Amino acid sequence: MRNVIFIISMILLFLTLFIGLESIFTGGIQGLLRKSKLLIPLMLGYVILYSVYIFNV
């Protein structure tokens, strides 16, 4: 179960980084602000899943 949580959290991190970098390269800071509605839930999901993985709750 821990491995599944770790893999899902790494996928969320990759998606967050990919979408963030893509929006910066295409639209600058304005592009990043437009994608913030998508980036914030992805980042929160990553933080929650990774903290569950670390603390083994």
Instruction: Write the DSSP assignment of 1-54 as a string of letters.
Output: -HHHHHHHHHHHHHHHHHHHHHHHHHHHHHHHHHTHHHHHHHHHHHHHHHHHHH
Per residue in 2-54, pLDDT tens? 788 888 888 988 988 888 888 888 888 888 788 888 888 888 888 888 888 88
Contact 51, 35 (CB under 8 A): no
The per-residue pLDDT for 32 is 79
